[in-house]
Copies of this chain bind each other. A is one copy, B any other.
Amino acid sequence: MTTAGTPGKAARRKRSDARRNEQALLDAAAAVFVHAGVDAPVRDIATEAGVGMGTIYRHFPTRADLVVAVYRHQLDALAAAGTAVPQAGESPYDTLRLWVARFADFLVTKHGLAGALHSDQAGFESLHAELIGRLLPVCEQLLAACAAAGQTRDDIQPYDLLRGIGNLCVGAETDPNYNARLMIDLLLAGLARDRSVTPATSTE
């Protein structure tokens, strides 16, 4: 019986039209997200993909599922970037800073992702969960390395940091007067045990 449920691998290959539609939906969603944000009406995405409402909900029961699927590559890349071996001469704190910058870029460039992530809108909890599940271990590792090297405080929870950074990104794209990256720099500077390790942004 090759029915679904085997933990290992391939259940039964999905029907060809189902696969086609799933891909069409991913493409359509990616396109719509770019100009209408991740809050775009479900109908718009369905229309763009040329499918009915039922189809989109069958493939992606919650909006978060769709969002996660669309950005899965980038999420993978982000997680991988954090565990890659650092450049020679790069301190743990440098590595953390670099990774955080990538994380912030990811959130900011995705129209409204940061906002959606932290809203209590129904259907976004699983997006939050997915992101945390994927990135928390990475963040934790980077932070632990910093603390072990004595470069940062050791009493900060990775989750708090991740969430704090994410929060700081809210509105960074839509509000031209708000400089989220600068605030992130401040936060990271506050994390450092010794002011001397903080690079350029600090004066002189």
Q: A-side interface residues toward B, CB under 8 Å? A: 112, 115, 118-120, 153, 155-157, 159-161, 163-164, 167-171, 174-175, 177-180, 182-183, 185-191, 193-195, 198, 202-203
**Residue from B187, B198, B202 in contact with A183 in the complex, judged by beta carbons closer than 8 Å:** B187
In the bound complex, CA of A182 to CA of B159 (Å): 12
List 17 contacting pairs A-B, 8 Å CB cutoff, sorted by A: A115-B120, A118-B171, A119-B119, A120-B174, A153-B203, A160-B179, A160-B183, A163-B171, A164-B168, A164-B180, A164-B183, A170-B170, A183-B187, A186-B187, A188-B190, A189-B190, A193-B203
A121 shortest CB reach to chain B, Å: 10
Across the two chains, which residue of chain B brings its CB closest to A202?
B153
Contact of A175 with B160 in the complex, beta carbons under 8 Å:
no
In the bound complex, CA of A147 to CA of B131 (Å): 38
In the bound complex, CA of A157 to CA of B177 (Å): 9
In the bound complex, CA of A119 to CA of B170 (Å): 8
Cβ of A177: which chain B residues have Cβ within 8 Å of it?
157, 159
Contact of B186 with A156 in the complex, beta carbons under 8 Å:
yes
Contact of A115 with B118 in the complex, beta carbons under 8 Å:
yes
Contact of B195 with A191 in the complex, beta carbons under 8 Å:
no
Report if A182-B153 is in contact (Cβ < 8 Å); known contacts: A120-B174, A170-B118, A174-B120.
Answer: no
Cβ of A187: which chain B residues have Cβ within 8 Å of it?
183, 186-187, 190
In the bound complex, CA of A138 to CA of B174 (Å): 24
Cβ of A119: which chain B residues have Cβ within 8 Å of it?
115, 119
Across the two chains, which residue of chain B brings its CB closest to A116?
B119
Among the interface residues A155, A187, A188, which one has the most CB atoms of the partner chain B within 10 A? A187
A145 shortest CB reach to chain B, Å: 18
Contact of A160 with B188 in the complex, beta carbons under 8 Å:
no
Contact of A178 with B191 in the complex, beta carbons under 8 Å:
no
Cβ of A120: which chain B residues have Cβ within 8 Å of it?
112, 115, 171, 174
Contact of A190 with B186 in the complex, beta carbons under 8 Å:
yes
Contact of B167 with A171 in the complex, beta carbons under 8 Å:
yes
